[in-house]
Amino acid sequence: MSNSVSNSVSDSMGSSVGKEPVAVVGIGQTKHVAARRDVSIAGLVREAAQRALVDAELTWADIDAVVIGKAPDFFEGVMMPELYLADALGAVGKPMLRVHTAGSVGGSTALVAANLVAGRVHGTVLTLAFEKQSESNAMWGLSLPIPFQQPLLAGAGGFFAPHVRAYMRRTGAPDTVGSLVAYKDRRNALKNPYAHLHEEDITLEKVQASPMLWDPIRYSETCPSSDGACAMILTGRAGAARSPRPPAWMHGGAMRSEPTLFAGKDFVSPQAGKDCAADVYRQAGITDPRREIDAAEIYVPFSWYEPMWLENLGFAAEGEGWKLTESGVTELDGDLPVNMSGGVLSTNPIGASGMIRFAEAALQVRGQAGAHQVEGARRALGHAYGGGAQFFAMWLVGAEPPAT
Amino acid sequence: MAPRKPSVMRPARDVAVVAFGQTDHLRSTDELSEVEMLMPVLHQVLAATGLRTSDIGFTCSGSCDYLAGRAFSFTMALDGVGAWPPISESHVEMDGAWALYEAWTALQTGEADTALVYSYGKSSPGSVRDVLTRQLDPYYLAPLWPDSVALAALQAQALIDAGETDEPALAGVARRSRADATANPHAQLSGSVAQGDYVVRPLRTGDCPPVGDGAAAVILAAGERARDLCERPAWIRGIDHRVEAHGLGVRDLTDSPSTRLAAERAGVFERPVDTAELHAPFTSQEVVLRKALRLGDDVTVNPSGGALAANPMMAAGLIRIGEAAARIHRGASHRAVAHATSGPCLQQNLVALLEGDTR
């Protein structure tokens, strides 16, 4: 995680140190739903963590450290909830870190955990992200009161809709592209038992007839509010060798941030997203992402962000992202499947949404994605973003250990 | 997997604190936004090293939405950092000491050689005693609103009952801290301060930290880069942190096993330290920490005055590391331990062992 200025220095020093390869050996999710009234916050996170341990065939005693992430504490009304969750996550007597980087937090949390392994600080790390949105109302939690902001915005949709409109104007994309994304992701979700929305009777016509919420974003083109948690167990080479199931190997990971507002900011394709992807591809030795990456789990909370991020991530030339979507390339059986799990459009426990992207990418290269498995997926991208399209976290995972 | 024994963790890379800056800590900073409060210390540490934002390999900050009263409060601070061109950056909803730990980890991977760490908190807009009740178990404890002073008082009484301290000894900690703080230009409370009345028995006003606003920043650098940037780098020989159970009823409040374990991992017990900067907001907590860290009377404890002289939430822990490092930079210390805490009654603790080059 270095910027371009220090790359030359850190590359040489990095190789002399030699990072420990990082493997994902356990993944656990809760069934994401609108409201988990049957469990406490502690019960919710423990359920995901237990499933990750079962998947890895490890016990709490095997975990050296816990890294937890979530979006703003106001969503549950608990300040720094990691303190209260220490017991539920088996962290007593262990190090526990709490990451918060807005919507990208699930991805950032996984990367912080990965660094603990890569830097040989700890051997095996449990990382987990969650949100229990039913405890409050996230839309108004995100609508800042005076004096912080003019009372113009209602939720994230109000913030992002103008940028979607800018993309449409800039590229001349047909109005229907957004509905195609939503229709695809909601159908993919039917193949994912953990997805929140299971709309068995979904049709393209229904998506296109749904009410306009934040013009040009329709109701069916927005993410739900979910209760859910996602956990992963990360370990090094020795831990991976003991893994009962194929591990997913981290080939690259990076975070990038830029300011919320400044003259020259490109909200449609932020520079931080481009830089983040470039760093990940450099680490992973990827030169042609469209050909070399088999599947991608991309943070798409509003349908139009699929074509927008396809361009930002280098999967399509500028102005061409919508053509991939329109021609079916991003369908589950297309040649670059995107959001096989149903994506954020079908499941959105905000703080966990980024980690779900990372975990779903790992499931694909482990061959453990079940009905939404992309056959033969060897390399997959997990992507998260947050704030005013300003915080980015990504990783690229592969079925084989990294070359170095 | 065999059960883990606490053992000293040897970092893969030598990383040092090469610069430290902090604001003057004030009871209220109504006229300043968090960004305005933070900016001068960012400029201070950058100027001390001659680095620009774009030279920094990794940036990590610590702050708290519950103090700011708004979601994503850290995004505004990022604007102040000047994250353009985009930077490699992360944030913890924890004291800045843990942001430093995350940055130290990033440097351990070799992906970065320098890191900027900052944290800030404004307690003045609300009643911090009440705000902190929101970090307690939301089902069984938070609804009772037990405030932070009341919980610390339980701990103090447990210490007195166990014969570990008494009220005059606690008053002595308060007196020494505020006296030492007279040499600290950033301190909020210094000099001769009356012990005052009970706030919550057995704690008097003098046993409690001042409530205030403040910010701090640190620059870390690895290997030779540290020597380039600082004449006498404060090397982080070890750093570790541990959390305890949340329920006070299952803890022995007179002890801090998490501090002891973190100190063991950090290598604090291998050789004596000359200085300790302890994040003990209440006098009674210094008693607990001295015991856990096995500090003798020959160790200089909190020469800055510690959290009893200035306790800006989210920054006070990072300031302990910064103060210890600054003493090494000045040649006033060779080997120092710095400590940070979070949560009720020292629930979570971080320990860093800092050392100067052997001359």
The domain of A47 spans 4-137+223-398
**Helix axes A105-118 and A350-366, enclosed angle (nearest 10):** 60
Report how far residue B358's alpha carbon sits from residue A166's, in angstroms, rounded to the nearest whole number.
60
Interface touch A262/B132, C-beta < 8 Å = no
The reported pLDDT for the residue numbered A379 is: 98
Question: Average of pLDDT values for B133-159?
Answer: 97
The reported pLDDT for the residue numbered B76 is: 84
Q: Mark whether B318 and B252 lie in a shared domain.
A: yes
Question: Which residues of A, range 212-271, sit inside 8 Å of B by Cβ?
Answer: 254-262, 270-271
The answer to whether A26 touches A53, Cβ cutoff 8 Å, is yes
Q: Among the listed ranges A9-23, A98-112, A244-258, B51-65, which one has the minimum average pLDDT value? A: A9-23
Domain containing residue A364: CATH number = 3.40.47.10
Question: Average of pLDDT values for B265-280?
Answer: 97
Question: Which residues of A, range 307-346, sit inside 8 Å of B by Cβ?
Answer: none
The reported pLDDT for the residue numbered A107 is: 98
Report how far residue A96's alpha carbon sits from residue A110's, in angstroms, rounded to the nearest whole number.
13
- Rounded to the nearest 5 degrees, what angle is found at the Cα of B95, between the Cα atoms of B91 and B99? 40
The reported pLDDT for the residue numbered B81 is: 86
Tens-place pLDDT, residues A111-160 = 999 999 999 999 999 999 999 999 987 777 766 665 555 545 667 888 89
* Structure token digits, residue B212: 């205030």
The reported pLDDT for the residue numbered A14 is: 38
Residue B235 predicted with pLDDT over 90:
yes
Residue A15 predicted with pLDDT over 70:
no
With cut-offs at 50, 70 and 90, classify the pLDDT of residue B351.
Answer: very high
Q: Which residues of B touch A62 (CB under 8 A)?
A: 1
With cut-offs at 50, 70 and 90, classify the pLDDT of residue A260.
Answer: confident
> Do the bridges between strand B300-301 and strand B89-92 make them parallel or antiparallel, or are there none, so unpaired?
unpaired
A98: contact with B, CB 8 A cutoff: yes
Computed on alpha carbons and rounded to an integer, the radius of gyration of chain A in Å comes to: 20
Residue B225: closest C-alpha in chain A = A9
Residue A6 predicted with pLDDT over 60:
no
Q: Which residues of A touch B74 (CB under 8 A)?
A: 100
Residue A85: closest C-alpha in chain B = B246
The reported pLDDT for the residue numbered A7 is: 35
Q: Which residues of A touch B9 (CB under 8 A)?
A: 121
Residue A2 predicted with pLDDT over 80:
no
Number of domains in chain A: 1
With cut-offs at 50, 70 and 90, classify the pLDDT of residue B162.
Answer: very high
Examine residue A118 and state whether it is found in any structural domain, yes or no: yes
Say what the ipTM of the complex is: 0.97
Examine residue A214 and state whether it is found in any structural domain, yes or no: no
Interface touch B343/A83, C-beta < 8 Å = yes
Interface touch A94/B12, C-beta < 8 Å = no
A371: contact with B, CB 8 A cutoff: no
Q: What is the DSSP string of A271-319?
A: HHHHHHHHHHHHHHT-S-HHHH--EEE---SBTTHHHHHHHHTTSS-TT
A76: contact with B, CB 8 A cutoff: yes
- Minimal Cβ distance to B138: which of A19, A77, A100: A77
Q: Mark whether B153 and B90 lie in a shared domain.
A: no
The reported pLDDT for the residue numbered B44 is: 97
The answer to whether A341 touches A372, Cβ cutoff 8 Å, is yes
The reported pLDDT for the residue numbered A143 is: 65
Tens-place pLDDT, residues B196-205 = 999 999 999 9
Give whole-number Cα distances, A359 to A298, A333, A366, in Å: 12, 20, 10
Domain containing residue B91: CATH number = 3.40.47.10
Interface touch A3/B114, C-beta < 8 Å = no
- Mean pLDDT of chain A, nearest integer: 93
Q: Which residues of A touch B225 (CB under 8 A)?
A: 9
Interface touch A272/B348, C-beta < 8 Å = no
The reported pLDDT for the residue numbered B321 is: 98
Q: Mark whether B59 and B33 lie in a shared domain.
A: yes
The reported pLDDT for the residue numbered B80 is: 80
Mutation for testing the B interface, residue in A5, A83, A131, A146 having most B CBs under 10 Å:
A83
Q: Mark whether B80 and B193 lie in a shared domain.
A: no
- A251 secondary structure, DSSP code: E
The residue among B229, B257, B276 that closes a domain is: B229
Residue A380 predicted with pLDDT over 50:
yes
Question: Average of pLDDT values for B105-114?
Answer: 96
Q: Among the listed ranges A180-189, A382-391, B71-80, B294-303, which one has the minimum average pLDDT value? A: B71-80
Question: Average of pLDDT values for B277-303?
Answer: 98
Cis bond before residue B168 (omega within 30° of 0): no
The reported pLDDT for the residue numbered B216 is: 98
- Minimal Cβ distance to A257: which of B83, B113, B247: B83
Q: Which residues of A touch B107 (CB under 8 A)?
A: 119
Examine residue B9 and state whether it is found in any structural domain, yes or no: no
Q: Mark whether B178 and B251 lie in a shared domain.
A: yes
Examine residue B3 and state whether it is found in any structural domain, yes or no: no
Q: Mark whether B111 and B192 lie in a shared domain.
A: no
Q: How far is A38 from chain B (nearest CA, A)?
A: 14
A100: contact with B, CB 8 A cutoff: yes
The reported pLDDT for the residue numbered A182 is: 98
Tens-place pLDDT, residues B29-45 = 999 999 999 999 999 99
Q: Mark whether B197 and B216 lie in a shared domain.
A: no
- Mean pLDDT of chain B, nearest integer: 95
Q: Among the listed ranges A311-315, B52-56, B67-71, B110-114, which one has the minimum average pLDDT value? A: B67-71
Interface touch A10/B92, C-beta < 8 Å = no
Q: Mark whether B54 and B69 lie in a shared domain.
A: yes
Interface touch B3/A61, C-beta < 8 Å = yes
pLDDT above 90 covers what percent of chain B?
A: 92
Examine residue A367 and state whether it is found in any structural domain, yes or no: yes
Full-model pTM:
0.96
The answer to whether B337 touches B268, Cβ cutoff 8 Å, is yes
The domain of B336 spans 132-210+237-354
Residue B110 predicted with pLDDT over 50:
yes
Q: Which residues of B touch A258 (CB under 8 A)?
A: 83-87
Question: Average of pLDDT values for A6-25?
Answer: 61
* Structure token digits, residue A205: 């016509």
The reported pLDDT for the residue numbered A403 is: 86
Interface touch B245/A64, C-beta < 8 Å = no
Residue B2 predicted with pLDDT over 70:
no
Taking the CA atoms of B180, B182, B188 and B193 in sequence, report the sign of the dihedral they define.
positive
With cut-offs at 50, 70 and 90, classify the pLDDT of residue A17.
Answer: low
Report how far residue A23's alpha carbon sits from residue A401's, in angstroms, rounded to the nearest whole number.
8
Tens-place pLDDT, residues A192-209 = 999 999 999 999 999 999
Q: Mark whether B121 and B136 lie in a shared domain.
A: no
Residue B138: closest C-alpha in chain A = A78
- Minimal Cβ distance to A121: which of B4, B64, B108: B108
